[in-house]
Structure 1
Amino acid sequence: MKPTRILVSLATLAGLVIASPHVTSDANITQPVPAESEAAASYISAADIIEYGQPNRLALQSGVAMIVDDREGVMLYGRNIERQRPIASLTKLMTALVILESGLSLDEPVKVTREDRDRLRGTKSRLGFNGVFTRHDLLYAALGASDNRAAAALARTYPGGEDAMFRAMNAKAQQLGMTQTRFVDSSGLHNGNVSTANDLVRLVNETHKHELIQTMTTTPSFRVTDRNTGRQVAFRNTNRLVHRHSWDIALSKTGYTAAAGNCLIMQTTIAERPLTIVLLNSWGKLSRYGDARRIQQWLEKAERRVPPIVTASASTT
């Protein structure tokens, strides 16, 4: 093995962020996901993707972007990852995390009231006033369909009410090391809900520990039941990529307000490489999905650019 290859391998094993000209190296990435020995034998390292893939040429339309190789804990690409921005409905991941960790019964019926309506932006909901839904179904509507009324009802019925809920959300953010993150509501309608791409990677890693959140954020369509009337309410996932068989998505959340722009965070696998992708402030209605596709194409091409001798050397390391 050449000496340069030894240095790269040691850096990778240490979980360091190896930077290219457009990759910010000060990201605080959490511990990498351990790789199975057989998969690792043929796995192209993140260092090689950065070296041969030329991420500086990746042209994305999102103002903030971050791509992390979850297996190694290495950032493959970063743009403005410490820029604090409104995060819109990405907020709902923290809402769900706090609810699940509170120990509240998910089977408990919760009545939706006029207190839960969106007074800030006037968004609509398929959940009618006086409808009764389990906390589980409200979580589903909030995560999968990004329903703001569902998120408001979850916060209102949290022990101690909304203020206690917001304190719990901020306390959890601090616990996770999300130092640039603040929450002032449970839905993300308020522009005071802010974070950074680097902080959001921490949130995604934490929510990924909950299989229920994985399921609720990636199910293409689902129904919830009004316990008062027995009527079922149909929803579709707001992330159009989960409706496509060409994408392997383990967790996702969309968001949009005028201040936040279009936002998308996902844990997905591309070319057998598990990734966390954060896209913020994408102004075109479809540009966040276009960016996701550009990332997919870039990574597939990057792996093909790695010389066979490098891949073979990595296999015998």
Structure 2
Amino acid sequence: MVSAFSPFTTVSAAEEPITINASSAIIIEESTGTILYGKNIDEKLPVASMAKVMTEYLVLEAIKDGKIKWEQTYTPSEYVYKISQNGDLSNVPLRQDGSYTVQELYEAMAIYSANGAAIALAEIIAGSETAFVKQMNEKAKALGLTNYEFVNATGLENKDLLGMHPDGTSADAENRLSARDMALLSQKLINDFPEVLDTASTPKKVFREGTDDATNMPNWNWMLPGLVYEYEGVDGLKTGSTTNAGSCFTATAERNGMRVISVVMNAQGKSLHESRFVETEKMLNYAFNNFSVKEVFPANYQIKSQSTIPVVKGKEDQVSIHTKEAINLVVKNGEENAYKPTFQLDQKQLTKKGELTAPVKKDQKVGTMVVSYQGNGSSLGFVDKNKSPQVDVVTKEAVEKANWFVLSMRGVGGFFSGLWGTITDTVKGWF
């Protein structure tokens, strides 16, 4: 569980902790969605083959739901066959009369970014790429994305699809997302289907090894172990490049128990295939050198000034409250004590006097705990701007309802107490 911070704020150029040479960039901590760095994160831009992250999500979801199986086979349509034969695009050549398993096609797409294989998977899942694109956009909405437009399953520019682009999309269209949405989609994929990293982290593989169709599939992610820009901890996720999108890369890496996700779009400085890795390295270094995930507030945490709630009609007249779970935060070095907790009680459960009404159950949720950042820096908020992460505040013990006799005696006691108070006030008035 994590805290709720202030809304996203833009950091001025003078305050920028690092300089990223790209049109848009973001880095988040994966478990909490905390934004560690952002540059132009909400502009919708071309993402090239990073769009295949959504295709991967829908494939893995279909496998999980039993709609398709890894071992089921597919024979290429004319469309898939023609795209797969284009050597100018990333592809594994598919025979028009061939038979390929979902597993083979998925690995070709995830490791080598094979475009024909991606369209084949779209047809397997939805019957056509047109229907699959509809699913892509529907899933984006369901996952909480807000700045996106999916027009095909590959990330290619539609003009490269030989006039066979999905119905309802234009010939010059291409997939576009904001850096924030690309990071959010990747977070959802890794969280919902962590097995994606088993394939994404494969540096190279041979498609149809041992056959006449054997094709080497080096991973375009050159930050994987043993490759040109090897970086400790990197195990995914997806590169992309087109004329309009430029040099793009969604990376994920884990060190010392913290996983981060970075996105760089239209990176500049070196070649089309290298700029994205140079800029990504800057972001990963910044994240791992300056932040860590720590338990800032333990489970069963109490705030002294808010440690109890009064109870009416109960055997006891109050109940203790505490947090149900620990709160883990992404903490910048040296700022472990820069957070202030507050209990926000559920007013719907309280009387006008701020009391709970018995009976009260043990571990009954009575509110939430939020944490505000009190440090010197700026909080960039969370990748999912529609959510306010929080931890439940619950009752420490149960309070049974008092029986009618006890309640009656309290009423009598209250009456005489009030009567005595009236008499003493009157007597005081005599003197």
Q: Is the TM value for this pair above 0.5?
A: yes
1:237 Cα deviation from its structure 2 partner = 0.9
Higher helix proportion: 1
Q: Pick closer, same or farther for the CA change 1:17–1:188 going to 2, 3 Å.
A: farther
**For 2:222, which of 232, 235, 240 is the aligned residue?**
240
Whether the 8 Å contact between 2:46 and 2:177 is mirrored in structure 1 is yes
Higher relative contact order (CA 8 A, sep 6+): 1
What secondary structure is seen at the aligned counterpart in 1 of 2:92?
Answer: coil
Q: With the length of structure 1 as denominator, give the TM-score of the two structures.
A: 0.75
Rounded Cα–Cα distance in structure 2 between residues aligned with 1:78 and 1:129: 44
Equivalent position of 1:213 in the other structure: 196
Residue segments in structure 1 that go unaligned for 5+ positions in a row: 1-11, 25-53
Whether the 8 Å contact between 2:251 and 2:280 is mirrored in structure 1 is no
Whether the 8 Å contact between 1:68 and 1:74 is mirrored in structure 2 is yes
**For 1:78, which of 13, 38, 41 is the aligned residue?**
38
Letter in 1 for 2:83: D
Whether the 8 Å contact between 1:133 and 1:226 is mirrored in structure 2 is no
Higher strand proportion: 2
Deviations 1:212-261 (A, max 9, x none): 3221111111233289x575433111100013464212431000001111
Letter in 1 for 2:204: S
Deviations 1:20-68 (A, max 9, x none): 76289xxxxxxxxxxxxxxxxxxxxxxxxxxxxx971301112101111
Q: Pick closer, same or farther for the CA change 1:138–1:218 going to 2, 3 Å.
A: same
Equivalent position of 2:393 in the other structure: none
1:193 aligns with 2:158: no
Rg larger in structure: 2
Letter in 2 for 1:203: L
Q: Pick closer, same or farther for the CA change 1:282–1:149 going to 2, 3 Å.
A: same
1:88 Cα deviation from its structure 2 partner = 0.5
1:114 Cα deviation from its structure 2 partner = 4.1
What secondary structure is seen at the aligned counterpart in 1 of 2:220?
Answer: coil
1:124 Cα deviation from its structure 2 partner = 5.2
| Residues matched between the structures, number | 272
CA RMSD in angstroms comes to 3.2
Q: Pick closer, same or farther for the CA change 1:62–1:106 going to 2, 3 Å.
A: same
Equivalent position of 2:5 in the other structure: 16
**For 2:135, which of 151, 168, 184 is the aligned residue?**
168
1:295 aligns with 2:295: no
Equivalent position of 1:128 in the other structure: 94
Letter in 1 for 2:154: S
Equivalent position of 1:7 in the other structure: none
What secondary structure is seen at the aligned counterpart in 1 of 2:205?
Answer: strand
Equivalent position of 2:207 in the other structure: 224
Letter in 2 for 1:214: L
**For 2:73, which of 103, 109, 114 is the aligned residue?**
109
Rounded Cα–Cα distance in structure 1 between residues aligned with 2:145 and 2:10: 25
1:303 Cα deviation from its structure 2 partner = 5.6
Rounded Cα–Cα distance in structure 2 between residues aligned with 1:299 and 1:99: 31
Whether the 8 Å contact between 1:239 and 1:252 is mirrored in structure 2 is yes
Identity of aligned residues (%): 23
Whether the 8 Å contact between 1:268 and 1:274 is mirrored in structure 2 is yes
Rounded Cα–Cα distance in structure 1 between residues aligned with 2:179 and 2:17: 20
Rounded Cα–Cα distance in structure 1 between residues aligned with 2:291 and 2:150: 39
